[in-house]
Amino acid sequence: MHSFTDLAKSFEDRFSASLPFPDAPGTLYDPCRYFMALGGKRIRPVLCLMANQLFDEISNDAWHAAMGIELLHNYTLIHDDIMDKAPLRRGQPTLHDKYGLTAGILCGDVMCIYAYSELGKITKAMPQVIQLFSKTAIEICEGQQLDMDFERRSNVSIDEYIHMITLKTSVLLACSLKMGAMVSGAFGDNANKLYAFGKNMGIAFQLQDDYLDAFGDTDKLGKQNGGDIKANKKTYLLIKALENADTAQRRSIEELLHGGTDTKVQEMLSLYTQTGADIQCREAVAHYSTLAFNCLDEVAIPSKRKEPLFELADYLLMRDK
């Protein structure tokens, strides 16, 4: 069984050596190459490969599926960056910031189509793969739309928030795993358990991200705390704090949201703690992590073969920290 590190390296080598973009027009494909070279952990394609090797040697179909998944993921990042007006991605200028709006739209578009073009090379279970991939991509668009909608609403509930991050983030992890299974011929319980594992892991990961942005160890994260607080981003912590707050606490939170003093981050963190939102966020991470690991336990494959997936989930969900 190949480890995450091995597979991530193999994928990176293969991916960067065989990007599907031609040279011309350079105004279209140079920005695409720029963006792909920004890197990333390639977690989604590796999940696909890992799920595939549960059942057999990693097949060519799985490589095509993995490529398609990574292209789709990067396409959504490019368009999200436009909508979020984000200047930086992985410490470098975002595609639209460097090359303009037209390139931002068109490069995303063409990358989505290249993703499907990769899936068009799959020899096994293509209809099922296309349907799952399309369903997932639609959900990602819906999740992004909900995220945008929530920015303008003050009454988002925890359930709505979990639904949004499920669509925006988790279903692609789930889909990656299930596609890896499907192209090996696995469609039943095992494929569905892998999907549920990925979905719950994705939710846990996003909630953990919310927590770490506020309370994480800045040395480990390599960035300052409180980015979400400064940006008034609706996170699990903020929604839960508003839900739990008494009248005075609620007024304080709303003043911080509208005002923004030098001590905004400190004061908000203090309110998260006072309202118990911090503890509940950690509990929610633990809850979804447990669901995820239970699903992986239930996949009817010898434990030995599942070790790389457990390791990756441990790493993502920092169970050892």
Binding site for its own copies (CB under 8 A): 25, 27-28, 79, 82-83, 101-102, 105-106, 108-110, 112-114, 116-117, 119-121, 126-127, 130-131, 134-135, 137-138, 141-142, 144-146, 148-149
Least separation in angstroms between residue 57's CB and its own copies is 23
Question: Which CB sits closer to its own copies, 31 or 180?
Answer: 31
| CA–CA distance, 88 with 210 (Å, rounded to integer) | 19
Least separation in angstroms between residue 70's CB and its own copies is 16
Question: Which CB sits closer to its own copies, 127 or 259?
Answer: 127
Question: Which CB sits closer to its own copies, 137 or 316?
Answer: 137
Q: What is the residue type of 18?
A: S
Least separation in angstroms between residue 147's CB and its own copies is 10
Question: Which CB sits closer to its own copies, 100 or 260?
Answer: 100
Compute, in degrees rounded to 10, the torsion defined by CA atoms 315, 294, 203, 126.
90
Question: Which CB sits closer to its own copies, 132 or 268?
Answer: 132
Cβ atoms of residues 110 and 74 within 8 Å: no
Q: Where are the beta strands (DSSP E) in the chain?
A: 88-89, 92-93
| CA–CA distance, 271 with 245 (Å, rounded to integer) | 9
Which residues touch 158 (CB under 8 Å, ≥6 apart)? 236, 239, 240, 243
SS3 102: helix
Least separation in angstroms between residue 99's CB and its own copies is 11
Cβ atoms of residues 189 and 178 within 8 Å: no
Question: Which CB sits closer to its own copies, 1 or 141?
Answer: 141
Question: Which CB sits closer to its own copies, 27 or 290?
Answer: 27
| 278: DSSP letter | H
Instruction: Find, among 49, 62, 211, 73, the residue nearest to 125 by Cα.
Output: 62
Cα maximum dimension of the chain: 62
| 216: DSSP letter | S
Least separation in angstroms between residue 114's CB and its own copies is 7
Least separation in angstroms between residue 120's CB and its own copies is 4
Least separation in angstroms between residue 248's CB and its own copies is 34
Compute, in degrees rounded to 10, the torsion defined by CA atoms 94, 213, 307, 68.
-20
